[in-house]
Amino acid sequence: SVHITNEKGTDLTIELGDRPIFSDDGRISSEDLKQGAVLLNIPSGEVFVAPLHHGTSGRVIFDLIIREGKRIVDLELDFREGRAYPVRAKEGLEHYLDLVNNASGDKNLIAELGIGLNPRITQMVGYTLTDEKIIGTVHIAIGNNKTMGGQNDSDLHWDMIVMKPTVVVDGVMLMEKGRFAEEYS
């Protein structure tokens, strides 16, 4: 299991099961091709997995989300059996609700857990495919995850970023307050 916390109040537990873990390292290797899903973004720099939604529970607070040019600040979601329930936001809750309510399918199920690894990206720029690569961050998506070995079917896939997380995987500290443990640096 993966346990994610931060000083803003995030306290989320995620089960991965035997789902494949993907690495977006800027290269498509023969191993990537064998895995069956070739997912590469520019810029690159993340590892990600489609978690088991029924094993996801707790609260997560996303510092800043910029989607369609609109800001959502300190969005707080409760996850129960993998389903996201909005609690509050300092700004932009209506925009979140509009996007989710107008999507179809498994729109509010956890879809992805990712960890940003790109050392050249250190701050948000307002573009999700860049922002989710910020080194020392975690991103959690809701919606579709079929391309990464999951079962959620939706017209929505929405990555949202947690800054300065502490991440513990199966009891082992991976990251503390956004800094990787020395053995993983």
**In total, how many domains does the chain have?**
1
Q: Is 167 contained in some domain?
A: no
Whole-number Å distance between alpha carbons of 111 and 149:
10
Q: Is 95 contained in some domain?
A: yes
Q: Is 125 contained in some domain?
A: yes
Q: Is 1 contained in some domain?
A: no
Q: Is 180 contained in some domain?
A: no
Q: Is 181 contained in some domain?
A: no
The parent domain of residue 111 ranges over 10-161
Whole-number Å distance between alpha carbons of 89 and 17:
31
The C-alpha R_g of the chain, in whole angstroms, comes to 15
Q: Is 78 contained in some domain?
A: yes
Q: Is 185 contained in some domain?
A: no
pLDDT 10s digit of each residue in the chain, 185 long? 999 999 999 999 999 999 989 888 888 888 777 766 667 788 899 999 999 989 999 999 999 999 988 999 999 999 999 999 999 999 999 999 999 999 999 999 999 999 999 999 999 888 898 999 999 999 999 999 998 989 999 999 999 999 999 999 999 999 999 999 988 87
| Prediction pTM value | 0.93
DSSP per-residue codes, 38-95: ----SS--EEEE--EEEEEEEEEEEEEEEETTEEEEEEEEEEETTEEEEEE-SB-HHH
